[in-house]
Structure 1
C-alpha cells in the first residue's frame, strides 16, 4: 500500500515539475503568449467613455480665421538654370553667431539647375500675389501652386529689394477668394497671430504665436525696416507667406527669422501690411518704387566722433562724412563733415531714420535740412532726386 502511494506521489511530483519547467521556458522565450492571454482577460473588464461631438468648435479655436485665409496662401516654386551664384541675403557662413535667415527651402549645389521654395498671398481677384523679393530674385521660371492643387505660371510685375516685397500675377479661372487686408492700427503687442506657409515643402501649415514687438527696425535685414516681430513658428519655405490675425485678416508678410541653426527660435519678422500695400500700389502704378534721395554718405554719431567734432555728448544727429559731387545735397550747399540734426523740422537721430525721412519725400520736392557746421546751425534747402536702384547682392 505504501509502495503504491509513493509511486503515485512520485508521478504527481514529476508532472508538476514538468509543468513548472514548461511555464518557465514559455515565460522566458515567448512571454507574449502569456501576456496575450492576460490581455484577453483584461479586455472584457475595461470600460471606455467617449465624448460626444455636437459640431461646435472648441473654445479658443482659430479654425474660422484659418478657413477664411488659408485658400489665399499659395506655394511658390522658382527655378534657375544659369550657373551664376544666387544671392543668399542675410546669411554669413563664416559666423557662429545667430543670423537672420530668409525662409528658402534647401537648394542644390550652384553648378546644377537650382530651385527654391517659398510662399505668397493672393490679394486680389485679378490674380495679384504678394511675396518676398528674395523668393523670386533671379528666378528664370516661377510656378504657383494654388490651394486646390492647380499649378500655374506666374509673371513678375515688379519688386522692391529695399523692403523685400515683390508682386506677381497669375492668369487662371476660378481663383480662390483673395485674403482680406487688415489694419496695422488694430495690431497690438500681445495679440495672437497665425503664420501660414509651406515650411520645408511639407505642405500648407499653420502655426500660432503672439505679436512680440511692433515697429522693429535696426535689424539689418532690409534698407527700410518696420517689422512686426512674432514668436509664431516659421521656417524655411515660409518666405512670403501670411501673418494673419484671429479674424483671418492679413497683417504681415513673413520674411525672416533670427536663428543660429536655420530653424525657428521664436524670433520671426514680418513686413506690416500697410508697407507691403504701399509698395504694391507703387509697383502697379509706376512699375517700381520711387523714393527721394540727396546723395550723402551718413554715419551714426558715436561718443568718439562727438569728441573729435567738439560737440556735446547730448548732440543727436547724423554725420555726413561724404557728399556726392553734383548730387542734390551738394547743390543745396551741404558739405562733408556737416552734422544733420533735422529734416523738415523732424529730428534725425540715426542713419536709418534719415533714410526713411528722405525716402518719403518725392523726387523733385524740397527737403529743409538743419545742420551743424563748426558749432553753428545752418538751414539749407535741398531738392531731392530719385533714389538709385540698389546694387545686386551676391555671395
Structure 2
C-alpha cells in the first residue's frame, strides 16, 4: 500500500478537504483497519464549525471521524484475538496509561486517554486507520458493517442510561430526538421502560421517535418556557418521570428536566452545550435531584454489539444518508443543515459510479435529485 491508497478527510483552519495520507505504521498491539463506514457526529460538526468543543480545541490539521467500522487488514505482533478479514467495530477511547480512572473501570475520564478524531488525535474518516487491537471488537456475522459504525452512538446511550440508573418499569423523559436521543430511546425500550416522553424542535424527528416507540412526543421551540415544558411532561405521563436524559445541552431542556423529574430522581446531562448553564439549583437541592454528567462511555462495546446481534435494538432505521468518502464534504453539509438522522460515510474505494446518498435509492448520483426521487423519504 502506498500513500495513494489512503484518502482522508482532513480538517485544517476551519476547512474540510480530502487529502492523500500515508498508510500508518503498526506498533506492537496495533491492527491496521481497512475502514468501511464512519458516522458523522455532532462533535465532528462542532470541531468543523467552531474549531473546538468545550475546552477541546483544534490546533493542527487532523482527520475527523470516531464512529467507525471496518475490516482488519493487518495485525501486529502479539495480537491473537483478531486476524485479517475480521469485521470490527472500533471503540475510540483508549487509555494511554494505567491511572486511577483506568483501575476503577472509568477509563473514559482518564485525562491522558487517546480518542479517535478528538484533538489532538487523528480520526478514522480515511481508507486505512491504525488502532489498538484490544479496543477493536469483532462483529458477528449477523451484524453488518453499517450497524458496526453505530455501535459508538449506541454505547453513548448505554452509558447515559447506566449513569441514570434506568430500570425496567420506569418513566423517562428524553430531551432531543437526534441520533443520541433516539439511541437513548432504543436503549430505554430494551431495558423495559414503560413510558417515554421525547421532545424536540423538529417535527420530522419527533415522528421518527414515535415510530421507534416513544409513548408521547412534544414539539418545542426556542421560546418554550422550561416550567411549561415540565408540566406538559408530567401531564403526558400522569406522573413525574423517574429519569430525565438531556441530549441537547440547551438551557431550556436542562431546566425543564430538573423541574419535571420526581423528587429523588436523576437528571443525566449528555448533550454538549455551552460552558455554563442556568440550572435551578435550589429546586434541585430541596427535592434531592441528582444531576449527573455522562461523558463518552466505558465497558459498553460487548453489550452494544450483543443488543444489535440479538435484534433487541435495531439501529438501522436511524441511517438516513450514505455518501462515499469522495463526497464527504456533501455529507457534512447535510448534517450541518439538520437533514436526516445518521449520515454514514463509506470509506471503501468505490468500484462503480457513486450512488444517490439516500438510504433507499439505487440511482446514480448524476441521475437523481433529492426532491425528485420517489424514494427519498428520510423517515
- TM class by shorter-chain length? under 0.3
1 or 2, which has the higher helix percentage?
A: 2
1 or 2, which has the higher strand percentage?
A: 1
Provide the TM-score with structure 2 as the length reference.
Answer: 0.25
